[in-house]
Amino acid sequence: MEEAQEYAFFESLMPLVGLVLIIAIGVVLLVLQFQKTLLQQRSERHRLELQHREALLQQSIAAQEKERQRIATDLHDELGALLSMSLMQLKHYHSEQPLQVEKWAHRFPSIEQHLERALGATRRIAHELKPPYLEEMGIAHALENLLNHAAQTGAITIEMQSLHNCAPLAAVAQLSLYRIVSELLNNTLKHAEAQKVRCYAHQDAAWLIFQYADDGKGLTIAPTKYGLGIQSMKSRAEAMGGTFEIQNGLSSGILAKIKLPLNNP
């Protein structure tokens, strides 16, 4: 009799086990849902932060470019014009009244040389600040011009392939690409002791892949210790929604890969 009662009591506990199980599953699902939402909220916050940082970077680059253009225009239009006028006047004065300035005559060629150099330097600085040909003739010509200039120094030979593939880039991305290649070339000339530079551009779906390689010393520092130059190139590419990667080449030198979104309609 007692055994039967115990059995009946045990049987009556079975639904309790079921209910406790239902409650436990319910609580676990609720907490899982909470954790999932938290993760989503965190990743959304992270995405917004990145978006904000990217927007700030773009604004900063745009402001930098605007300022560069302003300085270039001021240099070219104001200082350049003044120097040109001074040089013309000096030449005119020299040719018109050679006798009256006899005692200064031996100095004219030197003054003229200084003025011509100052004018040349002004033009060069203005061109560097505002890439020549980029607006008028497009990125492919501007890059060719930049690379040819480097080749003319005789210190290096340049191999270029399919640069016309860069043409569909948006204007702001073209400028970024120009600046990145310019910085890479500058590093090669200054530090790499390279003999040869190779540039190759191709399109891959909605992306432009630009590869830059030299046969110099390569990178001698760890990626965590990259300097401002490499950081700036990376930031420029990322601000355009692209990427910038740099590593040592297989045998020598560096291999940089710039990936930028194409300006598709």
Partner 1 sequence: MLYVLLANLPVAISTFLYALSYKQIKGPAKWLAWFVFLTSGVQLLSGLLANLGTPNLFVLHFYVPIGGGLLIFFYREVLMGYIKDAVFFGAVGILLTGSLINTLFWQPLAAFNSIGLSVECVVIVILALGTFIISVNHEFYKKHQAFITHLNWINSGLFLYFSGNLLLFYFGHELLWALSINVKTWIIHGILSTTMHIAFWIGEWRRPKNMHFSSR
Question: Largest Cα–Cα distance in the chain?
Answer: 144
3 binds partner 1 (CB under 8 A): no
Distance CA 65, CA 62 (A): 5
If the CB atoms of residues 14 and 99 are measured against partner 1, the closer one turns out to be 14
DSSP bridge pairs for 208: 203, 260
Q: Kindly give, in sequence order, each residue whose CB lies less than 8 Å from that of residue 151, ignoring residues fewer than 6 positions away.
A: 157, 158
φ/ψ of 50, rounded to 5, equals -65, -45
What minimum distance in Å lies between the beta carbon of 36 and partner 1? 9
Q: φ and ψ at 107, to 5 degrees? A: -90, -15
User: Is residue 30 a contact residue for partner 1 (CB under 8 A)?
Assistant: yes
39 binds partner 1 (CB under 8 A): no
Q: Are 174 and 139 spatial neighbours (Cβ–Cβ below 8 Å)?
A: yes
Verify binding: residue 220, partner 1, rule CB under 8 A.
no
Q: Is 38 in the site for partner 1 (CB under 8 A)?
A: yes
Segment contacting partner 1 by CB under 8 A, of 36-44, 99-107, 128-136, 245-253: 36-44
- Shortest reach from residue 30's CB to partner 1, in Å: 4
Taking the C-alpha atoms of 235, 236, 238 and 243 in order, what is their torsion angle to the nearest 10 degrees? Answer: -100
| 48 is an interface residue for partner 1 by CB under 8 A | no
Examine residue 248 and tell whether it contacts partner 1 (CB under 8 A).
no
Which position among 15, 154, 227, 265 is part of the footprint of partner 1 (CB under 8 A)?
15
Percent helix, percent strand, percent coil in the chain, to nearest 5 = 70, 15, 20
Question: Applying CB under 8 A, which of residues 6, 34, 82, 105 lies at the interface with partner 1?
Answer: 34
Phi and psi at residue 84, to the nearest 5°: -60, -45
- Using the rule CB under 8 A, is 12 a contact of partner 1? yes
Q: According to CB under 8 A, which one of 6, 19, 81, 85 is a site residue for partner 1?
A: 19
Beta pairing partners, 203? 208
Binds partner 1 by CB under 8 A, chosen from 7, 27, 52, 55: 27
**Contact residues for partner 1, defined by CB under 8 A:** 9, 12-13, 15-16, 19, 22-23, 26-27, 30-31, 33-34, 37-38, 41
